[in-house]
Amino acid sequence: MTHPFETIAAIGVVPVIAIESAADAVPLADALLEGGLPIAEITFRTAAAADVIARLAEARPDLVVGAGTVLDTASLAAARASGARFGLAPGYDPAVVDAAIEAGLPFAPGVMTPSDLSLATGKGVRVVKFFPAGTIGGPKALDSIAAPFAHLGVRFVPTGGVTLDNMGEWLALKAVVAVGGTWIARTSDIREGRFADITRNARAAVDKACALIEARGR
């Protein structure tokens, strides 16, 4: 089975999703898959997160489902039990990172400073979330923070303030493995059944990300 972070790197974009009802899980998955986006980060910002992950893992195994906003070891355990194939967090908590390593769950903790990054790399972490990307200096800040760690092969997933319009600025950085975005599948669109809109957003994001990654590799 392909490593989930390899799948993320190949696509270049991860939809960050807060979904309120497990009943919407399969229609959401189908909308993403129809848009060519076989990835979903289901955040633990809602009570339905674990149920949604479990339903997706069972009903749509082609979708690489991960857990986001994993703030504690209880959430990490719930994510694993539900079938999450990777996890992310907005910050760095050594207890959560240790638990993910022990469980063998690919995990990207959040970093904002060189100190955060030092702690993460000290644990052997090589994929991190850069959050909140849009309010702490943008791509130039990330480029500067990443430079001293480049020899370690650290890769970043900027999230927070990333949009279809500005994702190219982030993906132009070789240290960026993918961008995370909430615009692809908004909570309100899911709640109100606007799955065709989600499909269109997914397709636009994938097409742009793939073109940017290809251009970066030339």
Residue whose entry in the numeric block shows the structure tokens 């769950």 = 105
Q: In this predicted model, what pLDDT tens digit does every residue of 135-174 receive, in sequence order?
A: 988 999 999 999 999 999 999 999 999 999 999 999 999 9
Residue of 213, 16, 212 lying closest to 132 (CA atoms): 16
Judged by DSSP in three states, 169 sits in: helix
**pLDDT reading at 217 higher than 80:** no
At what angle are helices 73-82 and 94-103 packed, to 10 degrees? 30
pLDDT confidence of residue 81: 98
Q: Which residues are catalytic?
A: 41, 129
Across the range 88-96, mean pLDDT stands at 98
Residue of 55, 132, 134, 147 lying closest to 89 (CA atoms): 132
Q: In this predicted model, what pLDDT tens digit does every residue of 28-68 receive, in sequence order?
A: 999 999 999 999 999 999 999 999 999 999 999 999 999 99
Q: Would you say 167 and 159 are in contact if contact means Cβ atoms under 8 Å apart?
A: no
Judged by DSSP in three states, 146 sits in: helix
Domains within the chain, CATH numbers bracketed? 4-212 (3.20.20.70)
User: What predicted TM-score, i.e. pTM, was given to this entire model?
Assistant: 0.96
Q: How confident is the model at residue 214 (pLDDT cuts 50, 70, 90)?
A: confident
Judged by DSSP in three states, 68 sits in: strand
